[in-house]
Structure 1
Amino acid sequence: MASGRVSPGAPGIPARWTSSAKSGVGTALSPASRVWFTLSHGILNEIYYPRVDRACTRDFGLIVTGPDGYFSEEKRHAQHLITPFEKGVPAYCLTNTATDGAYRIEKRIVTDPLRSSVLQEITFTPLKGLAGDYNVYALLSPHLFNCGMGNTAWTGDYKGTPMLFATGRDGVSLALACSLPWLCHSAGYAGFSDGWQQLSQNGALDPDCQRAEDGNVSLTGQIGFSAESNRACLSLGFAQSPEEAGYNALASLMAGFDAAAKPYVAGWRDWQKGLQPLDRIAATGVNMYRVSTAVLAAHRSAAFPGPVVASLSIPWGFDKGDDDLGGYHLVWPRDLVETAGGFLAAGASDTAVEILSYLRTIQEADGHWPQNAWLDGMPYWDGIQMDECGFPILLADALRRKGQLSQEALLSFLPMIERAAAYLTRNGPVTGEDRWEEDAGYSPFTLAVEIAALLAAADILDECGKPAAAIYLRETADCWNDQVEHWTYVKGTHTANTLGVDGYYVRITPPDTAEASSVSQGYVPIKNRPPGDTDRPLELIVSPDALALVRFGLRAATDPRIVDTVTVIDAHLRCDLPQGPVWYRYTDDGYGEHENGDPFDGTGRGRPWPLLVGERAHFELAAGRKDSAVSLLATFEASAGPGGLLPEQVWDGTDMPERELLRGGPTGSAMPLVWAHSEYIKLLRSLRDGAVFDMPPQGVKRYIEDKTVSTLRSWRFNNKIRSIPAGKTLRLELPARAMVHWSVDGWATSHDTETSENLLGIYLVDLPVAGLSSGSAIVFTFFWPESGDWENIDFTIAIGPLDTP
């Protein structure tokens, strides 16, 4: 370690991350290399080690100084061009040309397949003056193990080779080496004594600033460029100790850039060769299919086979600090299954099976999955979303139907499927939160996933020799499917009348019975509404989520209720941008920049999502309008940023170049969004096949073709219906063994019926009320033999023509 004094300014300014608008992501397809990199603005941003959910740097770029106080930072003061080495290979050539025409920086970037190192081959070319007029500095901001604070940086050497070091939480360390000599170097505190501050204020590095402890730190080194040597290789090694990081950096540096680049490219080339030939060149000249497949594969974990994080980015990262550790480099089971579908559509079925195996491992004991989690399955958020409990079942069924699971393999997944199906039936159909991690209630999207998953699980149970449980799951699916419109469809509202439609599906309706009954009136109470605000009309809460009823095979695309809903969606949520129509998630969405361009800070306004263009294109294909789907495919592609990466959201306001917000371009939300790239791949496959690739067939056969109608209505403590239509059987579903005490004549007479446990651990009893006429009622209560207690509450269900909760 160097003996210079500790730099002033401890602990530095509060740590922040950086732009989430990435232009490239990459990693070696090698288990020996556990490092992932991201790019934007012509430089490296977050680099992840030793897992894809652990960011270790903020950014890593160059500063150029020169005569008369010249100071230029390439990420801010240059124009950037990015090109891949070749299609489908996430190794990049960057060209950064100073906006004042003074210099050009060319870079080639890969990771070393043999070890955890990132290599940059850099060529510096002066465009004005001579090479000796300029000094070029590497500026590195360690944020080790997802933390910007609490890091220590210093200058030193490994085996006599000068290097820049940093270490952080749990000993995770990095070391930076250069093929040319470091002419000088520095370690300081961000915002006070970092290299940027020193160079911008004094034009030189302070030789005494050689160590910065326990703070937001920065490392800077002057690269020994000269007229004779204008090319250098920077090797950034990572490990669990500074010494091992130094070893990785030096070993990669000594082997040389080409020694890493050749196997890196070969690995990706071989992987891409095994995929389906769905190549398509976008109008930009980018092969978006190969970009998308590379994005999916680059977000996989090396340490844990199977998981794929949602995005190697932190939305609005430049405004986020250590209090937001997760970013999007977490596993969302929903996104993961959607990604598995992308792999499956591309022909990488082995990866889809790995994903299913991973989901089996991290399933909670009661059958649900975490809302999101670290790679080891430890939850990050504590919510529960019912669609995320259904998606893994749909993945297992898709793999089964496509011949990717043997009978033996299917049996190995059966306990997972049974637990998930049991959880759905015990806790559905109300969602804990909708697919956007927000409101609870009856959601068309969640209902579609739940019902499709129950039908899929029934087929699997039948195949595995459990027909009784399969019958129960189909009966439950039928019961819920019958009530989708009752729960989520409104008629005769002002919006319906204005647009000339009969009605439409709303985004979500409240979970409890008092609020759910307001559906027929078209109004819904809003949580945490400001004083004086009245209940918000349901007609204002519109979402494209209802298209999931078609995507998952429960309703035909030509169903008049769906057609009318599309009219309402387009009237409220379509945004015509330079690339074409893009849709908002729902009315009053608050997840996005403020109107003045300020970043989302818990409030804001949601912007259009390119992902929804892909979902809409799938709907158009299901409706038989292939030309419209192809047109939307082009819109989807035109929503990509530099390098072909698809953003979570695009800007819908006037241009704000000072905030890098251009109409139709990416916002400060996540980019790339892996789910969007998966949707793009599935759309290519769907268009090639002439049918929606991931549409489960069970609902199509049962509800659209055979028009199956349920003979039941079910009552549970979390779904206390208040009436059933005449002619239906009443099924009570309980969490424990009970005796049901019931009457159909106001307790003039009564009956006692014992529950029976089914194979999914649910206690059932079907009460014979199908013969009761409209206007009558059934009343019941429970005796719990295990505790010897009565429920001491009478529950009443009316028999009527309308099934109102």
Structure 2
Amino acid sequence: MPVTPNVAPGAPGIPARWTSSAKSGVGTSLSPAGRIWFTISHGILNEIYYSRVDSACTRDLGLIVTGAAGYFSEEKRDATHSIEPFEDGVPAYRLVNTANDGAWRIEKRILADPARPALLQEITFTALRGAADDYRVYALLAPHLVNAGMGNTAWVGEHEGKPVLFASGRGSCLALASSLPWRTGSAGYVGFSDGWQQLHNTGELDAAYQRAEDGNVALTGEIGFSAARTKALLALGFGATPEEAAEHAFASLKQGFEPAANSYLQNWRNWQKGLLPLDRHAVPGTNFYRVSTAVLATHRSIATPGAAVASLSIPWGFDKGDDDLGGYHLVWPRDLVETAGGFLAAGDAASALQILDYLGSIQQPDGHWPQNAWLDGSAYWPGIQMDECAFPLLLAEALHRAGHLPHARLAVFLPMIERAAGFVVRNGPVTGEDRWEEDAGYSPFTLAVEIAALLAAADLLDACGKPDAATYLRETSDVWNDQVERWTYVTGTAICGQVGVEGYYVRIAPPDSAEAGSPKDGYVPIKNRPPGDTNRPAEQIVSPDALALVRFGLRAADDPRMTDTVKVIDAQLRCDLPQGPLWYRYNGDGYGEHEDGAPFDGTGQGRPWPLLAGERAHYELAAGRREKAASLLAALEGSAGPGGLLPEQVWDGADMPERELLHGRPSGSAMPLVWAHSEHIKLLRSLRDGAVFDMPPQGVKRYIEAKTVSPFRTWRFNNKIRTVPAGKTLRVELLAPATVHWSTDNWATAHDSQTVENDFGIHLADLAVSGLPKGSTLTFTFFWPGAGDWENVDFSVISGDQDSQQTFPR
């Protein structure tokens, strides 16, 4: 093989793109020495991650078959594909790619070497038409070593006299070696001089193209197949230097496939055998439970225990470039807690504890968590979402309640718990954005998580000997729970008339400006923008998110407000598909393919989410309808793609095979979505137990059974209420000490109340105005002793009726 380092033409190549997010397999070795995560789609390897699960190092690695008379065939485009795991719960795969024209068949076995950072592919080529010598088979590899397409360098070289395909970028290197040595090799710029262009245009590789620097590059090598040698082992090694990467690749080749496979299988068998037996075999050939558990474990970090990414995919990746470095291979605290819940439901409390440890390590000093982050905790998106700040509290309490977080260990997490609870009480209940990273306001989902989390934290603080702090958290939960309907429940709307209900919970209600006010004294600013891409009034936007009020134990499943809301959800959002009913996120959702099937590009049309079938199933189970919940489990599993992986969304339109969009099948969104697999595991556990597995008990006891109501109504600078119901005490909450100067007779007389600081740095003053006649006005202002001056603004609150929901004309 020539080694003259001639640089290929066409630098730096066409703009880089990722690849299909519709994965059919994901895997890793569960070995600290491995540090490789891989994905499979369309019969070939897609993104491979090294040495961190948030760092993609390749776009794809597939094969091209050429022959006489200009024959050119690419296995990912020109073949039918099948995939199966080695065994249940082991994400090592057998692939069979059969040419659509009947000319050839390629069989593969793929796994990561547990002994070192190398990926192994055992490839068998069979000529179905003609003889093996009539064809030539090439491996085509697109390095993305810098977690992006541009900025990579590729070259053809040698290691100890053996030909190797190399690439490097930003301190990482790869080396692709073959047990049947490369006959020829080429390095080129994508779209101009890469091997695909050469083989497609001329049928040959240009031996002069030996190097492509600092661009969007590709490597191509001809595998030395012959009539007598139809099986080859490819090893893709990684390292900090080219030499190290090559050493790993050749060490794997020398070891061979079977020893690596035996070790890989044993790692996964050992982990799977420690899980609860929630297996079901409703669909022959696929054990969805073991697929889901393997998905959860595959998305974990090795070097950073407890960290796990949301998906080893980039939604609509074939249309995304280097400006989307994160994709979904980032840490979302919400998704991570949901992942922990999946581990806990499967019986792996140790993994859930690791996640709690990790969350403590990336918590910010003020108590919040980043909206999403790289493994080291550095934020990717700049937002703050209140539910993500509350979810870790629910995880801590669930572990403690189940006996996995004994008192001595709980004390270690006490600072994290106090900071998180403090952040929530200081900055809730308005959400920075809803759980879909979109609109700000009062969201039933976020409210449910916040309230349940504060009750959970209160129990933890009680266990740690902090009853005063616990009491305050419960009092705040009560205040917020009392107002859920006032904030998010509407009656008398046009939809009420259409569906025949009294009212329903809306997806999100923008905070009233008179209540939200401007931040003061350190309150975190909350974005206040109208509902995203709907241009609809808030009362017309509905979402299955309202079911969270039941899931988190705040409202009974048979509460008439909930049952009416369910009717509205079904009328507006249900989509009946071949596998069963699924639901849209909300009416007017713009996150999905366009109507013509074009990929989401910042705008589009939301499609049904299998995850929401799992959430609905939990609601049905809470309502005592187990059979209906079981049927929705079947719809959830029936939404899976090849290999049993669950997508973020499925296509709801007519078949568009030219865009790979089939009715009821996975769309171009993320697949697998780890959150959906966690929900699947929890649903299996809930069905086994006959009760919702992750429903916190505190809200059920306090609000559904004891029907607790709050004696308070709270005023603060980020929630300036305008009325206080008759019989309620007005609680003023500030983030600095103050004297509250107040009057109930337009300053004819005045009173002074000193604030008292609590455990969370909040300064309280309870104004005894519960006996004021209806319509009376309480006026107040503040003297700030720290600054030595007055607020110079008067605020007022009117004594009014008891709370009621929002009413709109039909």
Alignment of 1:783-798 (within 5 A): 783-798=783-798
Q: Residue 525 of structure 2 corresponds to which residue in structure 1?
A: none
Structure-2 separation of matches of 1:332 and 1:777 = 45
- Residues 376-428 of structure 1: CA distance to partner in whole angstroms, max 9, x if unpaired? 00000000000001100000000000000111110110110000000010000
Look up the equivalent residue of 1:377 and give its one-letter code. Answer: G
1:214 aligned onto 2:208: no
Please report how far the alpha carbon of residue 516 of structure 1 lies from its aligned counterpart in structure 2 after TM superposition.
8.5
CA contact (8 A) 2:438 2:532 kept: no
SS in 1 for 2:398: helix
Alignment of 1:168-187 (within 5 A): 168-169=169-170, 171-187=171-187
Structure-2 separation of matches of 1:717 and 1:82 = 57
Q: Residue 627 of structure 1 corresponds to which residue in structure 2?
A: 627
Structure-1 separation of matches of 2:614 and 2:158 = 51
- Residues 336-378 of structure 1: CA distance to partner in whole angstroms, max 9, x if unpaired? 0000000000001000000000000000000000000000000
Q: Residue 561 of structure 2 corresponds to which residue in structure 1?
A: 561
Report the count of equivalent residues: 794
Please report how far the alpha carbon of residue 537 of structure 1 lies from its aligned counterpart in structure 2 after TM superposition.
2.9
Unaligned runs of 5+ in 1: 518-524
Q: Residue 331 of structure 2 corresponds to which residue in structure 1?
A: 331
Q: Residue 65 of structure 1 corresponds to which residue in structure 2?
A: 66
CA contact (8 A) 2:117 2:239 kept: yes
Structure-2 separation of matches of 1:516 and 1:536 = 21
Alignment of 1:142-291 (within 5 A): 142-169=143-170, 171-291=171-291
Please report how far the alpha carbon of residue 95 of structure 1 lies from its aligned counterpart in structure 2 after TM superposition.
0.2
Look up the equivalent residue of 2:18 and give its one-letter code. Answer: W
Q: Residue 416 of structure 1 corresponds to which residue in structure 2?
A: 416
Alignment of 1:565-714 (within 5 A): 565-714=565-714
Instruction: Give the TM-score normalised by the residue count of structure 2.
Output: 0.97
Q: Residue 128 of structure 1 corresponds to which residue in structure 2?
A: 129
Structure-2 separation of matches of 1:514 and 1:639 = 45
CA contact (8 A) 2:516 2:718 kept: no
CA contact (8 A) 1:544 1:569 kept: yes
Structure-2 separation of matches of 1:79 and 1:505 = 46
Please report how far the alpha carbon of residue 664 of structure 1 lies from its aligned counterpart in structure 2 after TM superposition.
0.4
SS in 2 for 1:504: strand
CA contact (8 A) 1:487 1:516 kept: no
Look up the equivalent residue of 1:726 and give its one-letter code. Answer: A
Structure-1 separation of matches of 2:791 and 2:469 = 28
Q: Residue 404 of structure 2 corresponds to which residue in structure 1?
A: 404
CA contact (8 A) 2:331 2:372 kept: yes
Structure-2 separation of matches of 1:760 and 1:328 = 34
Q: Residue 522 of structure 1 corresponds to which residue in structure 2?
A: none
Structure-2 separation of matches of 1:563 and 1:720 = 32
Look up the equivalent residue of 1:70 and give its one-letter code. Answer: Y
Look up the equivalent residue of 1:754 and give its one-letter code. Answer: Q
SS in 2 for 1:556: coil
Look up the equivalent residue of 2:327 and give its one-letter code. Answer: G
Q: Residue 521 of structure 1 corresponds to which residue in structure 2?
A: none
SS in 1 for 2:382: coil
CA contact (8 A) 1:509 1:516 kept: no
Please report how far the alpha carbon of residue 654 of structure 1 lies from its aligned counterpart in structure 2 after TM superposition.
0.6
1:9 aligned onto 2:4: no
Look up the equivalent residue of 1:76 and give its one-letter code. Answer: R
Change (3 A) 1:284 1:594: farther
Structure-2 separation of matches of 1:512 and 1:431 = 13
Q: Residue 513 of structure 2 corresponds to which residue in structure 1?
A: 513
SS in 1 for 2:77: helix
- Residues 568-623 of structure 1: CA distance to partner in whole angstroms, max 9, x if unpaired? 00000000011110000001100000000110000000000000000000000000
Please report how far the alpha carbon of residue 538 of structure 1 lies from its aligned counterpart in structure 2 after TM superposition.
2.9
Please report how far the alpha carbon of residue 789 of structure 1 lies from its aligned counterpart in structure 2 after TM superposition.
1.8
SS in 2 for 1:269: helix
Please report how far the alpha carbon of residue 283 of structure 1 lies from its aligned counterpart in structure 2 after TM superposition.
2.4
Look up the equivalent residue of 1:252 and give its one-letter code. Answer: S
Q: Residue 520 of structure 1 corresponds to which residue in structure 2?
A: none
SS in 2 for 1:154: strand
Change (3 A) 1:42 1:224: same
1:490 aligned onto 2:490: yes
Structure-2 separation of matches of 1:63 and 1:753 = 80
Structure-1 separation of matches of 2:803 and 2:500 = 26
Structure-1 separation of matches of 2:669 and 2:169 = 27
Structure-1 separation of matches of 2:350 and 2:274 = 11
Q: Residue 314 of structure 2 corresponds to which residue in structure 1?
A: 314
- Residues 679-732 of structure 1: CA distance to partner in whole angstroms, max 9, x if unpaired? 000000000000000000000000000000110000110000000101000000
Structure-1 separation of matches of 2:653 and 2:169 = 41
Structure-2 separation of matches of 1:178 and 1:346 = 40
Look up the equivalent residue of 1:108 and give its one-letter code. Answer: R
- Residues 120-177 of structure 1: CA distance to partner in whole angstroms, max 9, x if unpaired? 00000000000110000000000113110010000001122210000012x2110000
CA contact (8 A) 2:157 2:164 kept: yes
- Using the aligned pairs only, state the percent identity: 73
- Residues 297-318 of structure 1: CA distance to partner in whole angstroms, max 9, x if unpaired? 0000001000110000000000
Change (3 A) 1:528 1:460: closer
- Residues 19-72 of structure 1: CA distance to partner in whole angstroms, max 9, x if unpaired? 000000000011011010000000000000000000000000000000111000
Give the RMSD, CA atoms, in angstroms. Answer: 1.4
Please report how far the alpha carbon of residue 527 of structure 1 lies from its aligned counterpart in structure 2 after TM superposition.
3.6
Instruction: Give the TM-score normalised by the residue count of structure 1.
Output: 0.97
Look up the equivalent residue of 1:496 and give its one-letter code. Answer: C
Please report how far the alpha carbon of residue 319 of structure 1 lies from its aligned counterpart in structure 2 after TM superposition.
0.6
1:83 aligned onto 2:84: yes
CA contact (8 A) 1:711 1:729 kept: yes
SS in 2 for 1:183: coil
CA contact (8 A) 2:515 2:719 kept: no
Structure-1 separation of matches of 2:116 and 2:295 = 21
Structure-2 separation of matches of 1:385 and 1:662 = 34
CA contact (8 A) 1:723 1:803 kept: no
Please report how far the alpha carbon of residue 513 of structure 1 lies from its aligned counterpart in structure 2 after TM superposition.
3.4
Please report how far the alpha carbon of residue 740 of structure 1 lies from its aligned counterpart in structure 2 after TM superposition.
0.7
Please report how far the alpha carbon of residue 803 of structure 1 lies from its aligned counterpart in structure 2 after TM superposition.
4.3
SS in 2 for 1:61: strand
